[in-house]
C-alpha cells in the first residue's frame, strides 16, 4: 500500500490499535477501534479540514483534461486540492473517479479519500424497472437483486455511494417522483426500503456493494397539490404512522446515509429541522451514519423564508443535523467563521465530520482509496449478461395485468395477424424511465423488438401518432404532440385487418420524475383520441401502458378488453412485455398505488379514514362524503392485479378470536388455482383497528406472501397476527398498542377480501 493518504491515518491508528485495551462488557473491540481510528484522525485535522469533509461538490471539469483556471470550476478544483472537499457527486467511470481520488489522496495534507455519490436509482447502465414498477412485483428478493445489480455495475464505474432508495410514501399521482418510490403503502414501502438497502450495501467489504441513502427525510411526497418541492403540512399522526416507518426500516437495515429534503414540513424546511434530524433520526433511532442535504437545499432555506442568507442557512443546517452540504457552498464558505464567532460549536463540526469519516472507514477507503477503481474490472462488469438476466426477471415480475376480458390474453403464438400501434412501441429510450443518467439513449429493447421474437404471427407495426414532437431528451409537456393526427388513417387501416391490436400508449419516461408534476393523469397528447379511433374499427385491443405514475383512464378501463400495466421497465422492457403478452410469463404483479378514475380524486389511497359520513343513508342522499359527479372508489385499487390463472379464496379461519399480549393468532385461508395455468398470487393480509385513540384507517396491509400454484392446486396459507402488528402512533404520542376489536381481511387485492373478527386484550 503506497497510498499517501494512509500515512497520517496509519501513524494515528496504529498507535490507537496498539494501546487499545477493550473493556469487557463495553463496546466490542472492533467498534471501539473504529471509533478510535476516527478520533485519532479528527485530532490531527484543522477546523477547515473537518469542514471540508462536510462539503460535497458536483463533478465540475473535464477531469482528465487540463486543470480549470477560472470561475466556479477553478474554485472547486482548488478546494479539492486544499482538502476542502469530502465528497463528489456525478463523477463516474474509473478514469475520472481515479483522477479525482488521486488529487484528494496525493495532493491534500491528510490525503483523506473522497466519497463518490451518484443517483443509481433503478440500475446504472443496465436499467431496471423504475422503483414504482418494481414495487408492483411485491417480490423482495427480486427487488434486492435489482439493487445489487445496480450497485455492482455502478461500483465497477468507480461509484461508492448511491442516493437511493427513495422511501417516500406517496399518495398523489400528480407528483412526478412517485416513480421513484414504492407507492402508497407504509408496510410494503418499509419492506422494500430494507430490501433495497440490503441490495445496495450488502457486504461493504467487497467492491461490488456501495453505500445506500434513505431519502428524502421527510415528507417530500406530501407536497400540496402534488406539485414538486411544494409546502408539506402533515399531522404528527400521518408523519409517524405513514411517512416515517420506511425511514426507520432503512435505519434498522443498516443504511449508512440519509438525505434530507427540499420541502418544508409544517413550517420548517426539512434541511433545517432539528426535530427530524437530531431528535427523531439521530437520538430516537440511534442513527450513526450521516445526513447529506439535498441539492442546494441548505441555501434554499433563503427563498423558503427561513434563513437570511447563505451564512445563516449554514448555521441553521449544521445545528439541525445536516452533516454534508450538497452543492450549496454554504458550509465551506461560512462554517469556519461561524465557529470563530461562537455561533456554531466546534463539537457540531466534529460530530458531522466524525460521522462522515466513520463511513469512509467502514467502506474501506482508508485501506484502499482506489477500491472501486479497476479498469479491467469495469470493462468486465458493465453490461454483463447476468445483469440483463436480472433486470429482465424483475421487469416481468413488475408487470400488472389490470384487465383481461374474455381471456383475450395471452395471445396465440401463431397464425394471427397482430397490429402493433403507438409511438412508444418502438421507443428504445422512454422505457429507460426517468433516473437513468448513466444509461445510453436507445438501449432498451422496444416492444416491437420483443414481439418480433414471436415469428409465427404476422406482426405489422404502425405508429399512429407521435407522442413527442421529436424530443427524446428533456421531454416537458410542451414537447408532447397534441395536434398531429395525420398518422391515424394508416393505423386504422392496419387495425381493421388485424385479429388483435396491441397498443402501446402512455407517458414518455422523461415525463415523470423530479420536477415532472402533472395536473392531467390521462394519456398524454393525442393518444386517447388514437385509442378511441382504433376501437371503432377493432375492439380486440390489448392496451399496454407505459407510465411512471398511476393514470386516470376510465374510458379505457370500461371499453378496452385487456390492459397491461408495463410502467417504464428498463433495458429489457420489450422482452418482458412480449413474454407476458404471449403467455411465456404469467403475470403476478399487484398495484402498489391506487389508480384514480379522475385526477380530482387524488390523493386517493386504500388506507383512508372512514369519516363520520362514509355511506349514503337513503337513496339519493346528499349529505355524505362523496362527489356528486364521480364515484369514491378507485379505477384500480391498491393490491389489484390479475393472472392467467384464476385464484379463489375461501375458508378464512382464525385459530382464536382473542389475542392476548404475547400471544398470537394464526389466520389461515384456502387458495385455489381454478385454472389450467400454473401461476403465482400475492396473498395480502389487512387489519382494521375499529376504534382508536386517534381514528384508524379502514384497512392496513400487515403481511403478504407470494404463493405459487400448479393448475387446480389448492394451498392453505397461514399468517400469524401478533401484538406488534397492531401498534401505531397513538394519542399518547407513542408507538404502542391499544386493546379493542379488530377485523382481519385476506385477499388478492385491497378491495377484494374475505374477513373475520378478533379482539385484542391488554393486561398491562
Among 8, 61, 295, 306, binds ligand BGC (CB under 6 A): 295
Please work out the total of residues on this chain that contact ligand BGC, with binding judged by CB under 6 A.
7
Among 60, 163, 290, 605, binds ligand BGC (CB under 6 A): 163
Angle 59-62-66 from CA coordinates, rounded to 5°: 130
Residue number, 250 or 481, with CB nearest to ligand BGC: 250
294 sits near ligand BGC (criterion: CB under 6 A)? yes
Say if CB 567 and CB 548 are below 8 A apart.
yes
- Find the shortest distance in angstroms from Cβ 95 to ligand BGC: 21
Residue number, 227 or 416, with CB nearest to ligand BGC: 227
Half-sphere exposure of 1 (CA within 13 A, CB side): 15
Q: Which of 294, 323, 325, 427 is catalytic?
A: 294
- CA separation, residue 522 to residues 28, 177, 505, 555, 636 (Å): 57, 17, 11, 10, 14
Residue nearest to ligand BGC (CB): 163
300 sits near ligand BGC (criterion: CB under 6 A)? no
Binding mask 102-131 for ligand BGC (x = CB under 6 A): -----------------x------------
In the structure grid, which three cell numbers stand for residue 633, read together?
Answer: 372508489
Residue number, 295 or 624, with CB nearest to ligand BGC: 295
514 sits near ligand BGC (criterion: CB under 6 A)? yes
215 sits near ligand BGC (criterion: CB under 6 A)? yes
Residue number, 270 or 701, with CB nearest to ligand BGC: 270
**Strand order in 213-217's β-sheet?**
213-217, 257-260, 290-292
Burial of 660 (0-12, 13-18, 19+ CB in 10 A): middle
Bond prior to 410 in cis (omega within 30° of 0)? yes
248 sits near ligand BGC (criterion: CB under 6 A)? no
What is the distance between the alpha carbons of residues 489 and 496, in angstroms, rounded to a whole number?
11
Residue number, 221 or 318, with CB nearest to ligand BGC: 221
493 is catalytic: no
- Find the shortest distance in angstroms from Cβ 510 to ligand BGC: 15
What is the distance between the alpha carbons of residues 609 and 604, in angstroms, rounded to a whole number?
11
- Find the shortest distance in angstroms from Cβ 550 to ligand BGC: 21
Nearest to 87 by CA among 435, 434, 378, 369: 369
Bond prior to 165 in cis (omega within 30° of 0)? yes
What is the distance between the alpha carbons of residues 501 and 461, in angstroms, rounded to a whole number?
10
- Find the shortest distance in angstroms from Cβ 89 to ligand BGC: 6
- Find the shortest distance in angstroms from Cβ 315 to ligand BGC: 23
Bond prior to 603 in cis (omega within 30° of 0)? yes
Give the residues across from 419 on adjacent strands: 460, 501
- Find the shortest distance in angstroms from Cβ 118 to ligand BGC: 8
Nearest to 175 by CA among 472, 740, 604, 481: 604
Residue number, 108 or 512, with CB nearest to ligand BGC: 512
Q: Where are the alpha helices (DSSP H) in 583-739?
A: none
Instruction: Give just the sign of the alpha carbon dihedral 570, 263, 352, 46.
Output: positive
DSSP β-ladder status, 290-292 and 257-260 = parallel
Residue number, 175 or 582, with CB nearest to ligand BGC: 175
228 sits near ligand BGC (criterion: CB under 6 A)? no
Residue number, 93 or 589, with CB nearest to ligand BGC: 93
- Find the shortest distance in angstroms from Cβ 294 to ligand BGC: 5
- Find the shortest distance in angstroms from Cβ 74 to ligand BGC: 23
565 sits near ligand BGC (criterion: CB under 6 A)? no
Continuous segment of H or E residues that includes residue 534: helix 527-537
- Annotated catalytic residues are 294
Catalog residues that contact ligand BGC under the rule CB under 6 A.
89, 119, 163, 215, 294-295, 514
Amino acid at each position: 500500500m503506497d497510498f499517501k493518504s494512509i500515512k497520517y491515518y496509519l501513524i494515528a491508528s496504529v498507535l490507537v490499535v496498539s494501546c487499545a485495551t477493550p473493556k469487557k462488557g463495553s463496546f466490542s473491540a472492533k467498534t471501539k477501534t473504529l471509533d478510535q481510528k476516527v478520533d485519532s484522525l479528527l485530532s490531527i485535522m484543522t477546523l477547515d479540514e473537518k469542514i471540508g469533509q462536510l462539503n460535497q461538490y458536483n463533478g465540475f471539469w473535464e477531469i482528465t483534461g487540463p486543470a480549470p483556471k477560472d470561475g466556479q470550476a477553478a474554485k472547486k478544483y482548488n478546494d479539492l486540492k486544499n482538502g476542502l472537499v469530502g465528497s463528489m457527486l456525478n463523477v463516474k467511470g474509473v478514469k475520472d473517479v481515479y483522477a479525482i481520488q488521486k488529487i484528494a489522496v496525493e495532493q491534500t495534507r491528510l490525503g483523506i479519500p473522497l466519497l463518490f455519490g451518484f443517483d443509481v436509482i433503478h440500475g446504472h447502465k443496465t436499467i431496471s424497472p423504475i422503483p414504482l414498477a418494481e414495487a408492483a412485483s411485491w417480490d423482495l428478493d427480486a427487488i434486492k437483486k435489482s439493487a445489487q445489480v445496480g450497485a455492482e455495475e455502478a461500483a465497477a464505474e468507480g461509484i461508492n455511494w448511491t442516493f437511493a432508495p427513495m422511501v417516500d410514501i406517496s399518495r398523489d399521482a400528480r407528483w412526478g417522483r412517485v416513480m421513484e418510490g414504492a407507492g402508497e403503502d407504509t408496510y410494503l414501502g418499509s419492506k422494500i426500503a430494507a430490501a433495497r438497502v440490503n441490495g445496495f450495501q450488502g457486504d461493504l467489504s467487497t467492491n461490488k456493494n456501495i453505500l445506500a441513502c434513505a431519502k428524502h427525510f421527510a415528507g417530500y411526497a406530501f407536497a400540496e397539490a402534488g406539485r414538486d418541492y411544494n409546502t408539506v403540512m402533515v399531522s404528527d399522526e400521518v408523519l409517524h404512522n405513514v411517512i416515517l416507518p420506511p425511514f426507520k426500516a432503512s435505519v434498522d437495515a443498516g443504511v449508512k446515509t440519509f438525505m434530507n429534503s427540499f420541502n418544508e414540513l409544517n413550517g420548517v424546511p426539512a434541511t433545517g429541522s432539528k426535530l427530524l434530524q437530531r431528535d427523531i433520526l439521530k437520538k430516537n433511532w440511534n442513527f450513526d451514519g450521516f445526513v447529506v442535504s439535498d441539492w442546494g437545499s441548505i441555501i434554499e432555506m433563503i427563498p423558503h423564508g427561513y434563513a437570511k442568507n447563505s451564512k445563516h442557512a449554514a448555521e441553521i443546517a449544521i445545528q439541525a443535523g445536516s452533516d454534508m452540504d450538497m452543492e450549496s457552498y454554504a458550509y465551506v464558505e461560512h462554517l469556519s467563521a461561524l465557529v470563530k464567532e461562537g455561533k456554531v460549536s466546534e463539537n457540531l463540526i466534529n460530530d458531522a465530520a466524525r460521522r462522515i469519516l466513520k463511513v469512509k472507514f467502514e467502506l474501506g477507503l482508508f485501506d484502499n482509496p482506489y477500491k472501486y477503481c479497476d479498469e479491467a474490472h469495469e470493462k468486465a462488469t458493465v453490461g454483463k449478461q447476468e445483469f440483463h438476466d436480472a433486470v429482465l426477471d424483475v421487469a416481468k415480475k413488475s408487470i400488472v395485468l389490470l384487465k383481461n376480458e374474455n381471456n383475450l390474453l395471452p395471445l396465440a403464438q401463431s397464425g394471427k395477424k397482430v397490429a402493433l400501434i403507438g409511438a412508444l412501441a418502438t421507443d428504445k429510450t422512454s422505457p429507460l424511465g426517468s433516473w437513468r443518467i448513466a444509461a445510453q439513449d436507445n438501449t432498451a429493447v422496444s416492444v416491437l423488438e420483443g414481439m418480433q421474437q414471436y415469428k409465427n404471427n404476422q406482426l405489422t407495426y404502425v405508429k399512429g401518432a407521435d407522442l413527442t414532437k421529436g424530443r427524446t431528451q428533456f421531454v416537458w409537456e410542451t414537447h408532447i404532440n397534441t395536434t398531429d393526427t395525420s398518422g391515424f388513417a394508416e393505423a386504422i387501416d392496419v387495425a381493421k385487418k388485424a385479429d388483435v391490436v396491441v397498443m402501446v400508449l402512455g407517458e414518455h419516461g422523461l415525463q415523470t420524475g423530479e420536477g415532472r408534476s402533472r395536473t392531467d393523469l390521462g394519456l398524454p397528447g393525442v393518444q386517447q383520441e388514437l385509442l378511441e379511433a382504433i376501437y371503432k374499427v377493432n375492439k380486440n385491443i390489448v392496451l399496454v401502458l407505459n407510465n411512471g405514475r398511476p393514470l386516470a383512464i376510465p374510458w379505457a378501463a370500461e371499453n378496452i378488453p385487456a390492459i397491461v400495466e408495463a410502467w417504464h421497465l428498463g433495458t429489457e422492457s420489450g422482452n418482458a412485455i412480449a413474454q407476458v403478452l404471449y403467455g411465456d410469463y404469467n403475470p403476478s404483479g399487484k398495484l402498489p398505488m391506487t389508480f384514480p378514475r379522475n385526477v380530482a380524486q387524488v390523493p386517493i389511497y386504500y388506507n383512508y379514514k372512514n369519516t363520520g359520513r362514509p355511506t349514503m343513508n337513503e337513496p339519493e342522499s346528499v349529505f355524505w362524503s362523496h362527489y356528486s359527479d364521480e364515484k369514491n372508489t378507485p379505477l384500480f385499487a391498491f393490491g389489484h392485479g390479475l393472472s392467467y390463472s384464476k385464484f379463489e379464496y375461501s375458508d378464512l379461519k382464525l385459530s382464536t378470536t382473542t389475542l392476548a399480549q404475547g400471544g398470537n393468532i394464526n389466520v389461515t385461508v384456502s387458495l385455489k388455482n381454478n385454472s389450467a395455468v400454473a401461476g403465482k398470487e400475492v396473498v395480502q393480509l389487512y387489519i382494521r383497528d375499529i376504534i382508536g385513540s386517534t381514528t384508524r384507517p379502514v384497512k392496513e396491509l400487515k403481511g403478504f406472501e407470494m404463493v405459487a400454484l400448479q393448475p387446480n392446486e389448492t394451498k392453505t396459507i397461514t399468517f400469524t397476527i401478533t401484538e406488534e402488528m397492531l401498534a401505531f402512533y397513538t394519542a399518547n404520542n407513542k408507538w404502542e398498542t391499544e386493546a379493542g376489536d379488530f377485523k382481519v381481511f385476506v385477499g388478492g387485492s385491497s378491495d377484494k377480501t374475505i374477513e373475520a373478527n378478533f379482539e385484542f386484550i391488554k393486561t398491562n
